[in-house]
Structure 1
């Protein structure tokens, strides 16, 4: 975002003598989702170390939200589309527990296409990053899914004996760490990576052949995500390894975004890519922006295999739909184990229950993937996976069903043009072993 702001002297603060504020989070698609109160309204945000100012979007489910001192601006971010109109607002009260800022600037994005909720499966209203990292020592425990916002003046900097503290470069309100990557049979290539908790991917690398950052031969084109200025596409591949400090991850998943997605940034400097949530979640991390350092310690996620979309399907919520179920209990009592995620239920003659439940559709499909070869198409409504009616499950649980393990046979019941259709395919590796 390229809009200049004056820096508030207020910032986030804890009550006097309070050492930290602990906040539990949900980890969804490798993203940290936290509760945030803005001007008295309870909202849900993604903690995004790659964003320099808070962004508000997807406010359709809010009865009312007051924002202060509003003016219209133009902003631009990742993606190859045009800049967009937004609202700039100042003097807002942000609260995360007892951590509060009474004079916070923010942007309000009016484009309805900017919406994490449909792909994450829960309401998400914005992203928040730099100000928290600037004002606190931020401890992220990915293993137990909580963050602690430590008062820098009261924080004990004694690291754990199994942790490692590394330099962290803070430039233009963003943090960078240095590491190396091993591509094919090359030597380890030094890289400078943006630390991006707001990316669910493992590693983004810029295609820079002169530095040895070549795209591996085994790759495929894919949708990488959506930025403020449009969709981002690129190549997905696997690199032999990535090293940060003394920690090495082998056969790491990597994406090479097309350069036009970064057209708004005239000069990326010496940055070579980004490290995102699928790598970061393997550590418990302490970010210390004031001292420009980060402390890493391996957690139980460290040796987890990297996740690939074996089926080749992307899903998202697409509004609501009614379903009809017969009730087995002759008294017409709805049992707890029959409950759904729908919030509207109608009983008809004590025999049938109509429920309003989220509709999940195929939002994207990878060419040549098992799902594409079986005949699934974008826009198909998912009804059941391997005999399980999906309205009983969260979006992320459905995605897991579709990508359990190589060699598993998947049966997907869909609706297309008001007709039910059944497709079968077998999950296979994205990249064959060398």
Structure 2
């Protein structure tokens, strides 16, 4: 009898082990785990452990295999072995990017583990998200995690809940909307409706959690998807194959079944930069982070559906950058900081022999500490900052009288999205010279 029981247990363990090698599996009694994430510029940054090394990855529904940005030679610590070389193509007008494929890596996200994960290591130093976001980002993960588990994204409380599909239970939810997913090249699409110039237009949108904008649409005059005359030209973001530029505007509304978002931001990327994205001929654009963060989302790829539940961000106003400045983290520098400390001094008689007590006083000294440097990397032509005289590569020293290093990168950028008319004072360093500039924020669509 004991041998029989042991044999059954062994078979169960062997089956579980083989299953977990080729899939993400939550390995705890609940078969579900909660993982906190950072929300930076509408993007989800989640902790990922690879081969025992703790890293941070962007959760991007628009990618298939995990990508490792190996600009710091992270692969040396991960002890990964390259098996072959491939070339990846993404948004932008640049050339294809060389990547090295690595097999049999151990991935761990919370209690979710996969023992046999392949990834693609990219060595191009220009593909580095950390300077743009101000926090370390070592790579991107998407389909391989989402296909194996039910993934809840709680944008309002900033955590993921990862659950083995057989154990996930849906709760009755009158404030939720279910959408059927369609997949093309392992990327998820849903159907929605946009109102443009009083015309309701059905659209098929890629769900792109790796984009920080609200909505991208591909212009199609025959279908009425066009910017009209009310737009401004701007930098839209970075793709694997380079920068992307295009028009920014607003549309009347976006309808996601019963949910209606009024006056959402929309970007119309130039066709030159999106040739790769338009391989799926039925695709009309992308639904990205500035819309997704207004919901708590359940991705259930095995049932080919996604569930949206509106959260406290739903009615937030859609805003544009009213300065024209895009900043990035540009290294660190030593900054002298003062510090006060309590000191003691012994009081003695004039002959120096008899102790008369101690005198306590405050002393001030200085220390050198490393602080982040923020530099202008994009500057919209004819924007308030452009007209004031600011230039690309200017290093920001202070914002409204406070040292720039007292702020996070995200906090400074948030200031540029505030109400039109707000006065901004910047002190910058240019070629070793300190310069001061002033401008008021202006709505670029007015």
Q: TM-score, normalised by structure 2?
A: 0.88
1:171 and 2:184 aligned:
yes
What is the alpha-carbon distance in structure 2 between the residues aligned to residue 425 and residue 353 of structure 1? 34
1:31-74 Cα offsets, whole Å, 9 max, x none, are 00000000111000000000011000045174722113532222
Instruction: Indicate the residue corresponding to 1:205 in structure 2.
Output: 217
Quote the Cα distance in structure 1 between the aligned partners of 2:343 and 2:396.
Answer: 31
Task: Judging by fraction of residues, say which structure has more helix.
Answer: 2
Q: Distance in 2 between matches of 1:369 and 1:17?
A: 56
Indicate how the Cα distance of structure 1 residues 387 and 328 shifts in structure 2: closer, same or farther if over 3 A, else same: farther
Counterpart of 2:65?
A: 53
Shift of residue 325 of structure 1? 3.6
In structure 1, C-alpha distance between the alignment counterparts of 2:172 and 2:63, rounded to whole Å: 27
- Unaligned runs of 5+ residues in structure 1 are 1-7, 333-348
2:71–2:128 Cα contact (<8 Å) kept: no
CA distance in 2, matches of 1:221, 1:280: 24
- The equivalent of 2:279 in structure 1 is 267
- Inter-partner Cα distance in structure 2 for 1:382 and 1:328: 27
Q: CA RMSD in A?
A: 2.0
- Note closer, same or farther for the CA distance 1:422–1:75 as it changes in structure 2 (3 Å cut): same
Using the TM superposition, give the Cα deviation of residue 159 of structure 1 relative to its aligned residue in structure 2, in angstroms. 3.5
Matched, 1:243 2:252: no
Of the candidates 214, 220, 229, which is equivalent to residue 241 of structure 2?
A: 229
Q: 1:385–1:401: 8 Å Cα contact kept in structure 2?
A: no
Alignment partner of 1:421 out of 425, 429, 435 = 435
Which residue of the other structure, out of 145, 148, 155, is the alignment partner of 1:135?
148
**Within the alignment, does 1:368 sit opposite 2:382 as a pair?**
yes
Name the CA distance, whole Å, in 2 between partners of 1:266 and 1:177: 16
CA drift at 1:180: 0.8
Q: d(CA) in 1 for partners of 2:390 and 2:287?
A: 32
- The offset of 1:352, in angstroms, is 2.9
Task: Give the distance between the partners of 1:71 and 1:151, measured in 2 at CA.
Answer: 32
> Does 1:389 find its partner at 2:403?
yes
Distance 1:91 1:49 in 2: 22
Q: 1:84 to 1:307 in 2, by over 3 A?
A: same
Structure 2: gaps (5+ residues):
1-19, 345-362
Aligned to 1:123: 136
Question: How is 1:8-23 mapped onto 2 (pairs within 5 angstroms)?
Answer: 10-15=22-27, 17-23=29-35
Structure 2 residue aligned with 1:299: 311
> What TM-score, normalized by structure 1, do the two folds share?
0.90
Q: Deviations over 1:361-406 (max 9, x none)?
A: 1111111111111111111110111111111221101112333322
Give the corresponding residue for 1:337.
none
- Which 10-residue stretch deviates more, 15-24 or 89-98? 15-24
